[in-house]
Amino acid sequence: MRSISRRFGVAPILASSLIAASAGLALPAVADAQGTGQTPETSSGVISKTPGNPSTSSTGSGSVSSSGIQRREQSRSGAGRYPKGRYETGRYGDPHGMYSPWVPADIPASNQADRIVPSGSVFHNTFEVWRLPGGERMGMLGSNLLFDVHENLRLGVGTYGALTGNRGGFITLGFAGEARQEVSESWQLNGGLFVGAGGGAGGLELAGGGFMFRASGGLTYKMGRLGNIGVGVSWVTFPTGSVKSVQPYIMYEYPFYTALTKGWPKGNLGPKGGLMAPANRQEFAVGWTGYKIPSSVKNSGGGVQNDTMQLVGAKWTSYLDDRWFMTVGADGAFAGDSAGYMQILGGLGYRIPLGESTGLKVYVNAGPAGGGAVATGGGLIYGGGIALQQMITDRWALELALGGMKAGSGDFKAMQLGLNLSYVFGTPRIARGDQPLVNLSSYRASPVRIRALNQTYLKADDNWRTQSTNSPVNNMGVALDYFINRNLYVTGQGLAAYTGDAGAYMTGLLGLGVQADLSSKWFLTAEALVGAGGGGSLATGNGSVWQVNAGIGYRITDNLAFTLTGGRIQAPTGDFKANVIGAALSYRFGVVTK
């Protein structure tokens, strides 16, 4: 049993599977008419109706209160109550109409037959300084996205990356959880756990196989709309490496609410003729970035840095209003002799409309980066630029960006050119409290699936690694899938090594997948992926990789499933070739969008 566990990584997939299974608890139940919060028994799993209510007028897709209709008519003539501000015509944001007039949901609870309960969510950020062997110190930024699964428990995914010291490129990915207890209206006790994998910048020495465990405890002060701040103490260990450290941390988190559904209900959530809740513009982009590096820049070994580097990655942009936006994205090198280079950047920007379908963005960003012998010093890079965005359809946009990046304490600097393809959509602007579906007449539940992954690489070429060539490599990670239709989906995946003397290996992949039912419980699946990967002694050449997988899955419940796969991963420009055995636990849910 011990040899099997070591070879195929049974324990980590069980841990990550537990988190993925628990994620189902984070998704909101649709409240019944009396506000019990229990999920109604309907064919879609989302909508319930209250029969025989004299104050409602039934339609084929739900019910609308007569008072709600009256207020809707008042809003058209300028009367009634609705949020003040700029509301523009069109379909999406500024200038695409996400900020259209809306009447607040003050319908009595007895008439709110169909409701969604928003899920509490938080961007949780910490900074701490790890003590390394020999008295060395490394400042680490932790960023987690957490969702409420219980009144006192959050679960999610996260990353830790070096910002200060001499280990730029030391980055980990994994799963996070936090328990909390209110002690007063403003103060809160909390304890957290993080299980992940990664390394870099001396990964084998510090991170060993790459497995990371972090535990923490602290005190949080809630500042209302400004977010929350806190302090605490954390303990970090890499069991097969040399990192073992206890240190204080500081914390800032930004709470918000998301509208999610259990499963994939079909059609619009709200009834025809209902009200239109205002939406926040969202953009999800995949793209290419090219760096032009001056000849004066040295790499981390003191030699001349290659004058170009090409990266591929993904980015999420969320608008705070009709102009200001926040971004978070990750990119990996696939060309330019910098295999293993990775950057995770967050930023802030402002969008200036230039017409009905064109906008100019001005932005700044910063975050941890390194690997691939790129001299990012302690790991912090920062920069900014401008981007011209052109809507090519109601949903899709092309974006051309020009800017620059610089390392905070290293030699790296570069001008950059980027090209992104973005999918534009809206999510309802909501706060705590039930949201009547009568307010969501233009929204639908977009079908999304999250997967906790474990993949084992087995040698398929004698030169696949530069060391430990006979050791398999176990990786853990996460995949997010969007289903275009019942059988076809697009997927983004990130994985990092946790055993096999490959600490610092990471890969990010994008691709297409298909799924076909064999019965109500069993299904087949296959996918083709391309992306970037490197580090941990795997011979990936310039960093580009491709992967194919196929397998069989079993639905444990309507929304929870387990999958076993086999596949192949290779580097077109290197000797890295491996057969892949994979296992995944997946959960499907709907993201309320328009």
pLDDT tens digits, 536-569: 889 999 999 999 999 999 999 999 999 999 999 9
Give CA–CA dist 586/553, Å, rounded: 10
Residue 50 has pLDDT above 60, yes or no: no
Q: How are beta strands 560-570 and 544-555 bridged, if at all?
A: antiparallel
Give CA–CA dist 201/98, Å, rounded: 44
Architecture of domain 446-593: Beta Barrel (2.40)
- 145-174 average pLDDT score: 93
> 486 Cβ partners below 8 Å, 6+ apart?
none
- Most distant CA pair in the chain, distance: 80
Give CA–CA dist 333/231, Å, rounded: 35
| CB half-sphere exposure, 545, CA atoms < 13 A | 32
Between residues 386 and 356, the one the model is more confident about: 386
Question: Which pLDDT band, with edges at 50, 70 and 90, does 179 fall under?
Answer: very high
Backbone angles phi, psi at 37, to 5 degrees: 80, 5
Tell me the C-alpha to C-alpha distance, in Å, between residue 142 and each of 132, 173, 282.
17, 10, 24
Residue 433's pLDDT is 60
Backbone angles phi, psi at 437, to 5 degrees: -65, -20
Question: Which pLDDT band, with edges at 50, 70 and 90, does 214 fall under?
Answer: very high
- 240-252 average pLDDT score: 95
For 329-359, b/e burial (b = at least 16 CB within 10 A) is bbbbbbbbbbbbbbbbbbbebebebeeebeb
Residue 119's pLDDT is 82
Give CA–CA dist 322/348, Å, rounded: 14
Quote the percentage of the chain above a pLDDT of 90. 64
Q: Return the minimum-mean-pLDDT range out of 98-102, 429-433, 441-445, 502-506.
A: 98-102
- 381-399 average pLDDT score: 96
Residue 118 has pLDDT above 90, yes or no: no
What is the DSSP-derived secondary structure letter of residue 40? Answer: P
- 183-203 average pLDDT score: 91
pTM for this predicted structure: 0.80
Residue 258's pLDDT is 85
Question: Which pLDDT band, with edges at 50, 70 and 90, does 517 fall under?
Answer: very high
Residue 360 region by backbone torsions, left for phi larger than 0, else alpha for psi between -120 and 50, else beta: beta
Q: pLDDT tens digit string along 254-301?
A: 998 888 888 888 877 777 666 667 888 999 999 999 999 999 999 988
Cis peptide before 95 (omega within 30 of 0): yes
Residue 78 has pLDDT above 60, yes or no: no
Q: Return the minimum-mean-pLDDT range out of 227-231, 438-442, 574-578.
A: 438-442
Question: Which pLDDT band, with edges at 50, 70 and 90, does 120 fall under?
Answer: confident
Between residues 292 and 45, the one the model is more confident about: 292
Domain 279-428 indexed as CATH 2.40.160.20: yes
Residue 570's pLDDT is 97
Cα angle: 298, vertex 299, 304; to 5 degrees: 50
Residue 488's pLDDT is 97
CATH 2.40.160.20 in the chain is located at 119-258, 279-428, 446-593
CATH number for domain 119-258, candidates 1.10.150.80, 2.40.160.20, 2.30.40.10, 2.60.34.10: 2.40.160.20
Task: Report residue 481 as tokens.
Answer: 């899938």
